[in-house]
Structures are given as structure tokens and as C-alpha cells.
Amino acid sequence: MTAGSGPPSGDGLVWRTATELARLLASGELSSVELTGALIERSDAVDPGINAYLHRTDELALEAAGAADARRSRGEAASPFDGVPVAYKDIFVTRGVPTTCGSKILEGWVPPYDATVVERCHGAGLPMLGKTNLDQFAMGSSTENSGFFPSRNPWDTGRVPGGSSGGSAAAVAAGAVPWAWGTDTGGSVRQPGGLCGLVGAKPTYGRISRYGMIAFASSLDQASPLTRSVEDAAALMAIAAGHDPCDSTSIPSPAENYLDGIDGGIEGLRFGIIKEFTGEGSQPGVRARVDDAYTRLEKLGGTLQEVSMPSFQHGIPAYYLIAPAEASSNLARFDGVRYGSRVAGDTNIVTMNSMTRDEGFGAEVKRRIMIGTYALSAGFYDAYYGKAQRVRTLIIQDLRRAYESVDLIVCPTSPTTAFKLGERTDDPLAMYLSDVYTVPFNLSGNPAVSVPCGLSSDDGLPVGLQIVAKTLDEKTMFRAAYAFEKDLGFAGSPEGRPRL
């Protein structure tokens, strides 16, 4: 730690990107213990207002920060980001640290193992600041389905931060942690990223191991970073990406270095605009910002052309059959027998199972278990689950056809800016429609990133632009997002940060 040059003060520190912090740590201008201390202080100050965390691990973080500093002083940094703290959505299991998945049914459970994502981040030297709030079992778009409390959007604490990874988004947006992990099953990272003015980046399905990520819908779930810059998203994704023998759906090839050539610009890239996404149901302020973004892409040397995705109109219905069907089976293990909470009836095993699940699961979880159970039932399977899988095939085919003529697809991340707490809790369909632009790319497995494209003139809240790449073409996706972010100049500017 040098004294003379004057390290950034605690307040300025908390708004830095992970990449900037890594540079400060590398140069010795900053220690990880100092940084971690500042973030703990910031969390103490802001978390009561936003409820981002379910469980904080300050002591563990400081301990890990000390170890990171020691490594750096020996010249043995575990990675360029050694000592930069991170937070995890409480869907990642963490050895010795309570993991609830946002549900009362897992209250008290302390996992005996680490998720692969957690293990790889530990390996890179990232101290863990805590476990963040989410909609129970990642089912929701606002964190209002958390079994504990809703999180709040740092841009307006009367509004939701989005979901299901809303706790991670709120924490990063509020300066409580430089970056955080979420999971994206139907938009659960891109949508809160958009609503909180952050970058939310979902990799190709299978690119990051799902081992140790509590399953909601196994064929859709992907671990995804929430960050303050495109560069950070590429870096955090790269830390966790790559084959994991513990996950059979993990892509066998090694991951690329997403930072490599990220500043290559977008001259000559062809962007597809989806004809069927007419903007109907979108707020004018959102449409205006996204249209501006398209113009900017052209200005930067990209070309725009329309692509047709007739299958996309079936995206939401197909998603709301496939995801609940898988969930109904994935969540069967929460039965009070082996771990988590148990409500012991005085009669028999069936009563104990039922009472535990009745008290432990929230309404949305129960709704989806019912839908999923129904969709898989004998006599209904073909009409529901089977048909939804066929829609999925059509969506993949539509995208494959589109990518014959374009390099990337662009569209809004979400039809609206952050909505008010309670606004949609009684209307599940309205809530489901928050994901209309994100869901198709979970069904298809393509990588997709939400990057801030400014504030809506309607309400002054952030709007996200979604950029979708071909399977395993994360590098082009990040390159475009990076060029757009730099040119817009929103991220890192005072305008790009909430007045919290």
C-alpha cells in the first residue's frame, strides 16, 4: 500500500469495476483487506435499504482477502483478480455456509460441498462477501417470491430490482460488491441487469458447469455474471467457464479467453432485428432507448437487418411448460426427510412430506410444481411437454436460419423498466411477460448479454439492450457489447449509477 499517491477513497472505491480494482491490487495501491473492508462498510450502509443479502460472510471474506494479499505480496497471485470480492446468488451451494435458494424449505441447511462456479472463483482468489437474495428457487422476475423478503432496486427503492437474481443485481448496483453471480433460466440475470443498469451475461448453455447450482429447470439454467462493465462480465465468465466432468451437460471443449480482442470494434458486423418483436406492450421510453441503441450500432459501423422468428410467439407458453415440468421433478427432493426444514405431522410419512412442502414452498413454487406435474402426466405429456419441446426445436431452427445472414441479434432486454413492488404480484401472467424477450434464448441455449443503453425518459430508470450471439460465440457478443458500452459512455459515469 503506497501512501503518497493517495489511494482511492472508500466511497470512490465502491463504484470501481472489478477490472479497475484488479489493477489497483496488482499495482499495490490497494490491498484486498482494505477493499473488502470498504465493501463491508458499504454493505452495512446500504443493505438495510435494499435487502440484497440473505447471508453475509464478512469474516470469511476478510480472511480470504488477507490470504489474497499474502499471495500478492509473494508475487503468487492466484489470478489477475486475486482479492477482488464477489457475491453469489443463494442458489450456489457453498461448503459450510448456509444455502437456502430463497426458500424456507432449505432453512438451516449447510452444504458439505462447493458448486463448481464457487470452487473456480475461490481458486481465482475471489473473497466471498455473501449469499444474495432471489425469488424462491429462481422462480420469479422481481425477488418478491423470496421466502424471506423482497430486495429493492437501488435506483428507486420503491421498485423491484428484477429477478430472480435481484439480490445480486441490487448489491452490484448499490456499490456493495463489484460483481456477483446470478443464474439465468428465462432471463433471471439479463432482466435484473437491465432493470438495475448493469451488464448481465448468459453464456451458451453448457458453457459453465451447473454442478452445485440448485436446479430449477435443468435444461435452461446457466450461471451468469452481473457486473458494472462488459469487460468485467467477460472476465468473470471466463473464470468459471470450461468443461466440468461433474456436469454431463457441460460442453467438453475448453473455454475461450473472452477478453481477447474484446476491443476489436463492430465495423462490418451484421445485426438482426426481430420482426416479431414489434414493441407492442413495451413502454415508449424503453422503445426510444433501444431504437437509439440500434442507431448507435449503425454509427459504429454495424449494419441492421430484419430477421423473422415466427416461432418466438410460442416462447413464453413453451417455457412455462418445460421449466415447470423439470422443476416439478427437481424440487421433489425437498421433502423434509434428509435436510432443510421438516414439519412433522403426528401421523405418517405422507403427511410429513405434505406439511413440510406446504409450509416450506411459496405460492409461485407450488403453482409451478402443479403446472409441471400436470404437463408431465400420462395422457397430457404429448399435448404439453411434448409439444413445448417441439416449439423449442422450432426456435433453434429459426435462430440457426437467422444466423446465416447476421452475426448477432439485438432486441430489448425487457419491455419495461423496473416496476413497483407489489405491482404484479397478483398477476402471474403479467410477471411472466417480463421475460418475453429473454426466454427464447434460454430455450435455444444461445449466449445473450444485457448491456445498459441509458435511462428511460418516462421514469429515469435504466433500460437494457440485449445482444444475442451464435452458440459458443461469446467473443463476438462481448466485442459488440464492449464497443456499444464505450461509445455510449453510460457505464462508469455519474449518470450510470443510482443516487443511493
Partner 1 sequence: MSTAPSRVIETTIGLEIHVELATSSKMFCGCEVAFAGEPNTRTCPVCLGLPGSLPVVNERALEHTIRIARALNCDVASHSFFARKNYFYPDMPKNYQISQYERPLGAGGVLEITGDFPTRRVGITRVHLEEDTGGSLHVGGSGRIADSEYSLEDFNRAGTPLVEIVTEPDIKSADEARAFVTELRAIVEALGVSDVRMEEGSLRVDANISVRNAGETEHGAKVEVKNMNSIRSVGRALEYEEGRQRAALVSGDMPVQETRHFDEKAGTTSPMRTKEYAFDYRYFPDPDLVPFEPSDTWIASIERAMPELPVHKRSRLAEQYGLRPADIGILTTSTAIAEWFEEAASAYDGPAQKVANWIIADLFGLCNEAGIPLTECKIAPRQLAGLVRLVDSGSISGKQAKQVLGGMFATGDDAALIAEKEGLEQLSDAGELSSVVDEVIAENPDAADKVRAGQMNTVGFLVGRVMRKTKGQANPKLVTDLLTQKLAP
Q: Please report, for residues 266, 371, 497, the alpha-carbon distance to residue 480 in angstroms, rounded to integers and kept in the order given.
A: 6, 39, 22
- Of residues 323 and 469, the one with the C-beta less far from partner 1: 323
- The sign of the CA dihedral 322, 439, 219, 216 is negative
Q: Are 362 and 137 in contact (CB under 8 A)?
A: no
Q: How far is the CB of 93 from partner 1 (least distance, A)?
A: 4
Q: Where are the beta strands (DSSP E) in 229-313?
A: 270-274, 303-307
Q: Are 410 and 295 in contact (CB under 8 A)?
A: no
- Of residues 262 and 376, the one with the C-beta less far from partner 1: 376
Q: How far is the CB of 442 from partner 1 (least distance, A)?
A: 13
The answer for residues whose C-beta is within 8 angstroms of residue 321's C-beta and 6 or more apart is: 371, 372, 375, 384, 385, 387, 388
Residues found near partner 1 in the complex (CB under 8 A)? 92-93, 99, 101, 106, 109, 111-113, 115, 210-215, 217-219, 245-249, 325-326, 328-329, 332-335, 337-339, 348-350, 353, 373, 376-378, 381, 385
The answer for residues whose C-beta is within 8 angstroms of residue 120's C-beta and 6 or more apart is: 239, 240
138 dihedral zone (left: phi>0; alpha: psi -120 to 50; beta): left
Paired with 200 in beta bridges are 226, 450
Q: How far is the CB of 214 from partner 1 (least distance, A)?
A: 4
Q: How far is the CB of 103 from partner 1 (least distance, A)?
A: 10
Q: Please report, for residues 67, 85, 194, 249, 403, the alpha-carbon distance to residue 81 in angstroms, rounded to integers and kept in the order given.
A: 13, 9, 25, 28, 35
The residues that are catalytic are: 89, 164, 188
Could you give the angle at which helices 474-488 and 230-240 cross, rounded to 10 degrees?
Answer: 160
Q: What's the CA gap between 270 and 148, in Å, rounded?
A: 45
Q: How far is the CB of 373 from partner 1 (least distance, A)?
A: 7
Q: How far is the CB of 32 from partner 1 (least distance, A)?
A: 28
Q: Are 210 and 248 in contact (CB under 8 A)?
A: no
